[in-house]
Chain A
């Protein structure tokens, strides 16, 4: 037990880790304190303690800069993406792990290969395709795209999870007269709750934070999501800095909250991608 735990030499290490942790917390402090300061405070220094004890900056962002609309759009897009992703990935995972069909292995490998293609470099074809499909400037454009982009990883995760469940379970259900669909709905889905929770968290964070395709595909104010909409608070000539900070904080709070509450699930998603 004479590892890093007991040595005096660990103090510099601890100091380094603490500085790093402080830097990770800094943006929260920066946004939070500046949302409760004035334009004049900001002009004097960008770092300081709150001086204004009102939520006025949040109000200016929320109603004055349409953050309320963007927030609603982000909720709709993220929720739809999560629902569609979970539905497709769990069914695909079931079929790839517990059923037998022709071209099953090639299909699985095709999906895995898909993970390697960086979507950002395909901006143009994706944009043109969305225009052709008439989906541009609708929620569906990003919902379908987000679902498609993460489908390989999601399916991989569900396939791995279902594979780890014993076949005898399904065999017993089949003898009792359960069909392919009943086995899925009554037995596998309830058992897969932890994996499904992991999928929900991962896809929610991803969809909520996505920027490039939201910028490209959602061009009207009425459908624009938060990550793109919040930038409008940074005016071309004048910027209401406290309102901008409030807007950034509103963008961040849901993901920070979800992360803090469901940390365990997120770690599991990353571990599943890393170890298998």
Chain B
């Protein structure tokens, strides 16, 4: 006894689907590292309306995930606002029920997650930029660097620690905080196609009453998340000293 559950896990097709979906959701990580950096830079450079943008960008992160999920589910339905918008701008051919198959629902949920969390990353970057010496940017400008070069060669190298934080936080999100989105938006459907591992843990434990097996999945995923986090930090800190 003991290792039995882990052996089943290796051959479990639903676990594989769930893990694959977590990996697909991890595609959001590079988006979450780069896009908020650009947005934060624009706000940091005091683009007109920056106060308004800063306040509104964090709003999606203030809504409960349940609220985001229910609204997203309506937006993505066959007769939802997204398809209405596509019809209005003449892209009728793209109209579909976005949640009918995993091919469209996984990217759709991914975008919802990016949308719901980008405000956090923007604020983290803004705090990082505010803590830098303002003369750094000034010096680059006097040397004739344009705004984008200043971002790439002056801000990015100095924001490495902050970028690490954003990277790790969003990776952990992709592997361990997808439950509510999946639960509310697709409930795993169609079939097991949009399962993620936490959703599978929940179903094994509380729908099928396999507490032991659910614990095994949870343990494997906790270890996996810890290892990924560890390696990310190692890789990022490798070239530093």
Residues of A within 8 A of B (CB): 2-5, 10, 13-14, 17-18, 20-21, 23-28, 30-31, 45-47, 116-118, 120-125, 127-128, 205, 208-209, 211-212, 216, 226-228, 230-231, 234, 244, 248, 251-252, 255-256, 259-260, 263, 266-267, 270-271, 273-275
Q: Which residues of B contact A209 (CB under 8 A)?
A: 63-66
Flag whether B226 is at the interface (Cβ < 8 A): yes
A205/B62 in contact, CB under 8 A? yes
Do B39 and A251 have beta carbons less than 8 Å apart?
no
> Are A46 and B141 touching (Cβ within 8 A)?
no
Residues from 203 to 227 in B contacting A, C-beta threshold 8 Å? 205-206, 211, 214-215, 218-219, 221-222, 225-226
Of A2, A17, A244, A266, which one neighbours B42 at CB under 8 angstroms? A17
B141 / chain A contacts, CB cutoff of 8 Å: 2-3
Chain B residues with CB under 8 Å of A26's CB are 71
Q: How far is the CA of A189 from the CA of B16 in the complex (A)?
A: 51
Are A122 and B218 within 8 A (Cβ)? Answer: yes
Q: Would you call B184 an interface residue if the criterion is a C-beta within 8 Å of the partner chain's C-beta atoms?
A: yes
Give the residues in chain B near A227, CB-CB below 8 Å.
Answer: 64-66
CB distance from B102 to the nearest CB of A (A): 21
Inter-chain contact A251/B64, CB cutoff 8 Å: yes
Chief secondary structure at chain A's binding surface:
helix
Q: Are B62 and A256 in contact (CB under 8 A)?
A: yes
By secondary structure, the B interface counts as helix
Residues of B within 8 A of A18 (CB): 49
Does B172 count as interface, using CB distance less than 8 angstroms?
yes
Chain B interfacial positions (CB closer than 8 Å to A): 39, 42, 45-49, 52-53, 55-60, 62-68, 70-71, 74-75, 77, 79-81, 84, 115, 119-120, 123-124, 126-128, 130-131, 141, 147, 162, 165, 172, 175-177, 179-180, 183-184, 197-198, 201-202, 205-206, 211, 214-215, 218-219, 221-222, 225-226, 229
CB pair A4–B59 under 8 Å, yes or no, is: no
B56-A274 in contact (CB<8A): no
Cβ-defined contact, A212 with B222, below 8 A = no
Which residue of A has the minimal Cβ distance to B223?
Answer: A121
Please, how many angstroms separate the alpha-carbon atoms of A25 and B59 in the complex? 8
Chain B nearest CB from A29 CB (Å) reads: 10
Q: List 7 A-B contacts (CB under 8 A).
A: A17-B53, A21-B52, A21-B53, A117-B222, A122-B218, A124-B215, A231-B184
Rounded to whole Å, the gap between the CB of A59 and the closest CB of chain B is 20
A221 to B30, CA, bound (A): 41
| Contact of A21 with B218 in the complex, beta carbons under 8 Å | no
Q: Which residues of B contact A14 (CB under 8 A)?
A: 47-49
CB neighbours (8 Å) of B57 from chain A are: 20-21, 24
CA distance A129 to B219 in the complex (A): 16
The 5 closest A-B pairs by CB, nearest first: A118-B176, A271-B127, A209-B64, A21-B56, A274-B124
Q: Bound complex: CA of A88 vs CA of B222, how far in Å?
A: 27
Q: Out of B65, B165, B177, B197, which one reaches A274, CB within 8 Å?
A: B165
A118 to B124, CA, bound (A): 20
A27-B63, A45-B84, A251-B64 known; A4 vs B47 contact (CB < 8 Å): yes
CB contacts (< 8 Å) of A10 on chain B: these are 47-48
Chain B residue, CB-CB nearest to A229: B66
